[in-house]
Structure 1
């Protein structure tokens, strides 16, 4: 059996990233290492984790493509489900997210919007699929 355990985002400042997700989305901190190079937040069954770019380079000696607001987002997103997309988008923006796409109703009835976190990672904010 395989279980999806977590997604790790490589960030410049782990503490700052965790504070953004706590404030913008209401997630709670699971833990952060004493050196502030790795941390996790509680998001439900699957955890979002953060590793400093310095720590990531210890594991990936040849480097990696860094996320940045100056570049297009990666072809991957975090998806957060809510009953009120517009309110959550505005809350996220108030804590430093950047609007990528206004809320839009899809043909199947779902409301979907996109923001980018301060590190440039893409976040979908949507209603549940009916």
Structure 2
């Protein structure tokens, strides 16, 4: 059996990233290493984690493409399911998230909006898909 355990975002400042997600989305801190190079948030079944770019460089000797607000977002997003998209969107932007796309209702009834976090990662804020 395979279980999807976590997604790790490589950031310059792990403490800053944790604080942003705690404040903007209300997640709770699960863990941060004593050297502040790695941290985790309680986000439900799957953990959202952050590793410093320094730590990532130690693990990936040939390097990686860094996320940046100056560049277009990667072809990947993290999605947060919420009941009230405009409310969560307003809170996230008040803590520094950059608006990408205002809420839109999709043909299947889901409301979807997009922001980027302080490190440029793309976040979908959406209602649950009703089947």
- Kindly report which structure 2 residues correspond to 1:31-70, keeping only aligned pairs within 5 A, or say none: 31-70=31-70
Show the counterpart of 1:106. 106
1:28 aligns with 2:41: no
For residues 22-57 of structure 1, what are the alpha-carbon distances to aligned partners after superposition, in whole Å with 9 as ceiling and x for unaligned?
000000000100000000000001000000000000
1:14 aligns with 2:14: yes
Show the counterpart of 2:126. 126
Show the counterpart of 1:73. 73
Report the alpha carbon displacement of residue 62 of structure 1 after superposing the two structures with TM.
1.0
In 1, Cα distance between the equivalents of 2:6 and 2:83? 24
The 3-state SS of whatever aligns with 2:39 is strand
| Divergent runs of 4+, >3 A | none
TM-score (norm 2): 0.98
In 2, Cα distance between the equivalents of 1:119 and 1:3? 27
In 2, Cα distance between the equivalents of 1:83 and 1:8? 25
TM-score (norm 1): 0.99
In 1, Cα distance between the equivalents of 2:41 and 2:3? 18
Show the counterpart of 1:92. 92
Structure 2: unaligned runs, 5 residues or longer: none
The 3-state SS of whatever aligns with 1:17 is helix
Report the alpha carbon displacement of residue 100 of structure 1 after superposing the two structures with TM.
0.4
The 3-state SS of whatever aligns with 1:123 is strand
